[in-house]
Structure 1
């Protein structure tokens, strides 16, 4: 009994000390809901530093918790940089939608139209892999396992060695195991390939395509591709699940699958652009990326977006994780509600979906 009491007291004091390291004003029901979810995540050891953004109609709320690096006592801010991992795929989906909308490509174009002449593709049952299949994870291309077989692979940087030469070498030797277009099977390799093909078609790099078509128009001035494993001053130090420091992942030729790093400020701009896409070319591309392109028993997909349905609600969703970071983005366009979470610990903190559900079912702030 004494040991249990001592343990409980230690946990209480640890949480009390933690709660001083936050920007949460604890004034509204939303503030208290966020805090209760974050307290639970820290108690489970699933956080180091957190930035949380909530959009509820015309209002935006931001919350900071924890530290940018263990022991530095520095609260992250809206301009602190985190890797967003696979949330990048939603950006790549919008780039595909932009080229579809402008007539540069068709969703059902076979990828053979956009690979180098030196690449000879093999099909299963004469069914080509299309651009849309790369975006909605029905291409039959493996998740990422072939990347491990190329020289230079390391657990610390699993994608850095995999450049354009390796990507097209893989395609030259890839034999599909089943017919594409009929089964959802998540593929970083497929989404990364899509980013490269779209860039080739636009005669530019994936990095410049993102900047020209999404980052600059939305004013995402502190968002870019990770091109170095070094942690710059404005970036939160990443940690793996054992709380050991990790470098930012360099995704090389598969950057379209997970190479973006960003801030809460910029990701809230992106979330709001998806809630209210606008009338221009980018708005048209965003709306097209939201349309369903595939559905089976395991998934419903747009272009890069997972579409999640519940009673009376439809949510666009993606999360992401690299060696030292975790991210969550969920958007209910009809209700104009969104949740963005950026973390510098590679673990699902289980905050995003409960918070999104709270916004939708309780009506958001003040209720």
Structure 2
């Protein structure tokens, strides 16, 4: 499947009116060719979807470049910067995966263990036969996309105890917040602390992510962008069951880019954490060309845009798909494109990187717009980054 991002001249003209590029910062100024590619990609997209603000961050062999467009808030005309905080939706799942992987590295849990081992309230339920890995890879047997509206924090365990899988665990992948939510909750239980505390007081500081939060502190609220609904109403994410574990991280383009770089090269980290991050790239199941890792989704590299679009399509995200179990699991490797999208009602984000090329891109917007356009935009920018890397190497 091939796909082309089409932008009309009228949309480009409108984009020039609604968005202005902010300053680029990093070790060096962005090359004019890269700046042009980002501009030509972002401005029409903003105009076509009425996006108030976008932050683009890219890395090429350790050189970072930032491109900021538009506003963080219409209410006070705040411009975007690299410190602006965005809701990243399901990109949060990669942080949850990192915490669980770290728990395994320190011996607090084993992914092959049954889920009920870590929560006695689930003993005697279907989770006696569903592993932590099944939860972390959405292969528990058909947990739904969202926690049902009527379920609360007080009734969620009753919901799980009464739930019955439609499919044998490990046979179908069905993308699910209740699956990754319970996964993160059990990982935290294995470490004898709450998920929020472990994330904000341990994992994020260990990675040097000082502008990343589950709960944005009062002194940073002025840096927290507003998301916007289709009708222009300002939005921020509502609390919900397993929100922190599934979609609750708020971060900046600069911090998310650092997270990308640590996923490509964590050699400067605590060795245990570095191994944990690398382990999240292990491939466990395959649906089409997409391989489900822990939180992340990967593609053999080089790949084509059509494959990545298919892996991020509604069919893969919203429907159960027969999954091929990789036996043994595919070990982490560098010649892959690794990606994850994320949305809340008012925000849309996407991350993609190629460890073998040491290139990556972060796209954050304060509006939820089609994932396919984020993927196509990132693919175009990654292609430009590959050319820039060759130029750096003199090739």
TM-score range, shorter chain: 0.7 to 0.9
Residues 195 and 245 in structure 2, CA contact (< 8 A), matched pair in contact too:
yes
Equivalent residues, number: 344
1:293 paired with 2:297, answer no
1:114 paired with 2:118, answer yes
Give unmatched runs, 5+ long, in structure 2: 1-7, 304-334
Residues 88 and 256 in structure 1, CA contact (< 8 A), matched pair in contact too:
yes
Write the deviation string for residues 150-169 of structure 1: whole angstroms up to 9, x where unpaired: 3xxxxxxxxxxx32x33211
Residues 215 and 221 in structure 1, CA contact (< 8 A), matched pair in contact too:
yes
Q: Residue 254 of structure 2 aligns with which residue?
A: 265
Measured in 2, the distance between the counterparts of 1:145 and 1:215 equals 26
Measured in 2, the distance between the counterparts of 1:290 and 1:170 equals 31
Q: 1:78-93, aligned counterparts within 5 Å?
A: 78-93=82-97
Q: 1:208-227, aligned counterparts within 5 Å?
A: 208-226=197-215
Partner of 1:148, secondary structure, is coil
Normalising by structure 1, we get a TM-score of 0.85
Q: Residue 355 of structure 1 aligns with which residue?
A: 381
TM-superposed CA distance for 1:329, in Å, is: 1.1
Residues 131 and 194 in structure 1, CA contact (< 8 A), matched pair in contact too:
yes
Partner of 1:80, secondary structure, is coil
Residues 86 and 347 in structure 2, CA contact (< 8 A), matched pair in contact too:
yes
Q: Residue 326 of structure 1 aligns with which residue?
A: 348
Instruction: From 44, 54, 58, give the equivalent of 2:48.
Output: 44
Q: Residue 187 of structure 1 aligns with which residue?
A: 176
* Segments ≥4 residues shifted beyond 6 Å: 364-367
Q: 1:327-346, aligned counterparts within 5 Å?
A: 327-346=349-368
Instruction: From 39, 62, 67, give the equivalent of 1:35.
Output: 39
1:136 paired with 2:137, answer yes
Q: Residue 23 of structure 2 aligns with which residue?
A: 23
Distance 1:364 1:344, change over 3 A: farther
Measured in 2, the distance between the counterparts of 1:364 and 1:83 equals 34
TM-superposed CA distance for 1:227, in Å, is: 7.5
Range moving further from structure 2, 294-303 or 19-28: 19-28
Instruction: From 155, 165, 169, give the equivalent of 1:176.
Output: 165
Measured in 1, the distance between the counterparts of 2:359 and 2:189 equals 35
TM-superposed CA distance for 1:139, in Å, is: 1.3
Q: Residue 157 of structure 1 aligns with which residue?
A: none
Instruction: From 42, 58, 62, give the equivalent of 1:58.
Output: 62
Q: Residue 148 of structure 1 aligns with which residue?
A: 149
Distance 1:118 1:308, change over 3 A: closer
1:199 paired with 2:188, answer yes
Q: Residue 302 of structure 1 aligns with which residue?
A: 293
Write the deviation string for residues 90-135 of structure 1: whole angstroms up to 9, x where unpaired: 1111112112222222121110101233654126xxx811111111
Distance 1:50 1:170, change over 3 A: same
Instruction: From 226, 230, 248, give the equivalent of 2:237.
Output: 248
Distance 1:116 1:62, change over 3 A: same
